[in-house]
Amino acid sequence: MSVSIREVAKIAKVSIATVSRVVNNSAAVKEETKKKVLEAIEETRYQPNAIARSLKVSKTHTIGVIIPNIANQFVPGVVRGIEDCASEHGYTIMVCNGDGNDQKEKQYLQILYEKRMDGIIFMSHMISDQVAHKIYSLNIPMVFINTYDPEKKYPRVGINDTKAAYDAVAYLLQQGHKKIAMIGGFPKDPIASRPRWNGYKKALEQFGVPYDEDLITWGNFSAEEGYRLVHEYYVKRNMIPTAMFCASDTIAIGAMRAWQEIGYRIPEDISVVGFDNISLSPFLMPPLTTVAQPFYHMGESSMRLLLSQIHGEKIKKKNIVVPHQLILRKSSK
Amino acid sequence: MSVSIREVAKIAKVSIATVSRVVNNSAAVKEETKKKVLEAIEETRYQPNAIARSLKVSKTHTIGVIIPNIANQFVPGVVRGIEDCASEHGYTIMVCNGDGNDQKEKQYLQILYEKRMDGIIFMSHMISDQVAHKIYSLNIPMVFINTYDPEKKYPRVGINDTKAAYDAVAYLLQQGHKKIAMIGGFPKDPIASRPRWNGYKKALEQFGVPYDEDLITWGNFSAEEGYRLVHEYYVKRNMIPTAMFCASDTIAIGAMRAWQEIGYRIPEDISVVGFDNISLSPFLMPPLTTVAQPFYHMGESSMRLLLSQIHGEKIKKKNIVVPHQLILRKSSK
DNA sequence: TTGTACGCGTTATCAT
DNA sequence: ATGATAACGCGTACAA
């Protein structure tokens, strides 16, 4: 197999301690012996064994990342933010697709613990009691994206969903819209859906527009659902709004397509605003007005937060809210 | 910190060997003592240390995945395919963004080797001599996605790019188009760009349509470039084709937008066909005709190939070509 | 400045 | 069926 520090030592005619010292620059070594060691390393093609090192120092310089699904629209941006920050600090990431599934999440948590991650970043819509229980049993550095842990023991990073939805709907109201439909995600989802719904209601209230339950529908954040709901709910019931607030850009894409198919023009007949600002939103026809979430930034700052925990610093702020931004494009007026 | 096998042994009043045996089910243990051990494990909340185990058995059950950029349109699908297959077989993945950058790729290769991955999946456009050199120095199970290693020592999975481009352009030709523009990726890229260009030329030849260099431009696979090239090349030179073949869906998105902005209708005035079939292609206006790549499948089968290498099986087929598919939608006629 | 020796938490090979 | 004990490859007191 691969050569160990021992062989290098033998060839360089020094002790393994000395080899270790030059490999890690951990202590002064005479220039001459250092050269001998370096030559021996070259000759043997020695490569340090990080596993052995980890066992010794109880640090893997690896962090676990549990996300719903890497293939989801905005997850990759977050992961990229995490990885950039991680690699910058000498860490590597292990990514796991939890699929918002209790069992899978629990199992990954277990595996990541056994593999002795230095910390874990956990992204999900909601976190079940079972998963929460598992999390607390681990007792290692952790940070949440979007979700909260029930006891709020660990920090969480995310936008202010209520305010973000409020901003979007308030903008529509300001433009004179009164009949504003909303397509949300899972109605029970306490992270993305409830707060956005609240923001919607709050805006209406503020502008003195009565809330109409019939204008609200729930899907699952997918384009297919947005498409389906427009056809099978709004059109079928002949409830044609003048504007529509969608809880995700994917929903908005499906919805816009449905409206356009049956002859409504966007934004002339119906204004549509999305949520997320995924990378293709500016290239849709028409380009989509939406609430941008700083995904990369979220990943990056969650990693930062994790690092400070790993370094033993005490976290004071448990809820790190990152800025959202309403981006006006052509799908609304 | 966390408890070791030793403490469990002490509490259960057995040897560490016995504890190891019950933890791994590696040998028969009397029911009675097994129970004692299990109780001790429960009591101490013992969790096996995978690092120590890895050091002992020289297997990490972890595989490294180097990709250009997880935030790129189609990369997440591939990674998802890899991860599903990996986790199904008890493996975990470490993902690294190489950014198609020699230095980064080399460095990640080094890190992944030091962390003793059981294998590596490498996805990139092209692989430089430096990186190739590094790869060969490692000598561990590896498989490539899209790229080849120069000596073709390791297997590679990908579509037949030439044939795929041929199919797309032949379709356009069949529809009666004669003036077909193409926007490629990096002209030097031997993986995605050259073969697709060749396929384009081959189709023209087959249909007896003369090849016109001026119809070809090169970008970098981005929507911005597609947009820019339409405006600054085709429109400015007044070279208006009747159809356009784009080497990626993102290019097509930018190009469609540019044409539409200046009043050309798609597909009535210009047909556009893309490449990749990213998840939003069906939701564009108009829905994009494109060549689908089976990303998930590519990830999955690359992982399978890696597993068989890890298990010591000899790979006979070095080039695994997965099926592409021309998907006809509304952006072409 | 350098070397010796121990321990990190396992698994595996011997005995018993 | 069980227990001692030797590795695995490394970092680090401590001694020299």
Residues A280, A173: one domain? yes
Tokens 């997965």 found at = B322
CA atoms within 13 A on the CB side of B199: 28
Residues B318, B269: one domain? no
CB distance B69 to B99 below 8 Å: yes
Q: The whole model's pTM is what?
A: 0.94
How many angstroms separate the CA of A14 from the C1' of C3?
8
Nucleotide nearest to B18 (CA to C1'): D2
Residues A27, A71: one domain? no
Residues A301, A152: one domain? yes
Q: Could you tell me if residue A219 is inside a domain? A: yes
Residues B23, B172: one domain? no
Q: Could you tell me if residue A331 is inside a domain? A: no
List the beta bridge partners of residue A62. Answer: A92
Q: What is the mean pLDDT of residues B236-264?
A: 96
Is the Cβ of A77 closer than 8 Å to some Cβ of chain B?
A: yes
Residues B165, B213: one domain? yes
The answer to whether residue B101 scores a pLDDT higher than 80 is yes
Q: Could you tell me if residue B251 is inside a domain? A: yes
% helix, strand, coil for chain A, step of 5: 45, 15, 40
Residues B179, B267: one domain? yes
Angstrom distances, CA of residue B8 to CA of A6, A254, B45: 32, 57, 9
The band of B131, judged by pLDDT with boundaries at 50, 70 and 90, is: very high
The answer to whether residue B275 scores a pLDDT higher than 70 is yes
The band of B1, judged by pLDDT with boundaries at 50, 70 and 90, is: low
Nucleotide nearest to B29 (CA to C1'): D1
Q: Could you tell me if residue B285 is inside a domain? A: yes
**Weakest mean pLDDT among A189-193, A306-310, B6-10, B271-275:** A189-193
Per-run averaged pLDDT (10 residues), chain A, 333 residues = 90 95 92 95 96 97 98 94 98 97 97 98 92 95 94 95 98 98 89 91 97 94 94 96 96 95 96 93 90 98 97 90 98 97
Residues B217, B232: one domain? yes
Q: Could you tell me if residue A254 is inside a domain? A: yes
Q: Could you tell me if residue A137 is inside a domain? A: yes
Residues B317, B258: one domain? no
- According to the model, what pLDDT value does residue A10 have? 93
Q: Could you tell me if residue B119 is inside a domain? A: yes
Of A50, A95, A260, the CB nearest to B115: A50
Tokens 């910058």 found at = A88
Of A47, A70, A115, the CB nearest to B76: A70
- According to the model, what pLDDT value does residue A283 have? 78
Residues A64, A43: one domain? no
Kindly report the nearest CA distance between residue B138 and chain A, in angstroms.
Answer: 10
Cβ <8 Å between B97 and A76: no
Q: Which domain holds residue B154?
A: 57-158+295-322
Q: Could you tell me if residue B327 is inside a domain? A: no
Residues B317, B272: one domain? no
E strands, A81-198, are 92-97, 119-123, 142-145, 156-158, 180-184
In angstroms, the CA A99 to CA A62 distance is 22
Give chain B's mean pLDDT.
95
**Residue with nearest Cα to nucleotide C2 C1':** A18
Residues B299, B318: one domain? yes
Say which CATH number the domain at B27 has: 1.10.260.40
- According to the model, what pLDDT value does residue B192 have? 81
Confirm whether any atom of chain C, the nucleic acid strand, is less than 7 Å from CB of B17.
yes
Say which CATH number the domain at A95 has: 3.40.50.2300
pLDDT (tens digit per residue) in B141-194 = 999 999 989 999 999 999 999 999 999 999 999 999 999 999 999 888 877 889
Nucleotide nearest to B2 (CA to C1'): C9
The band of B38, judged by pLDDT with boundaries at 50, 70 and 90, is: very high
Q: Considering its fold, how many domains does chain A have in total?
A: 3
- According to the model, what pLDDT value does residue B297 have? 98
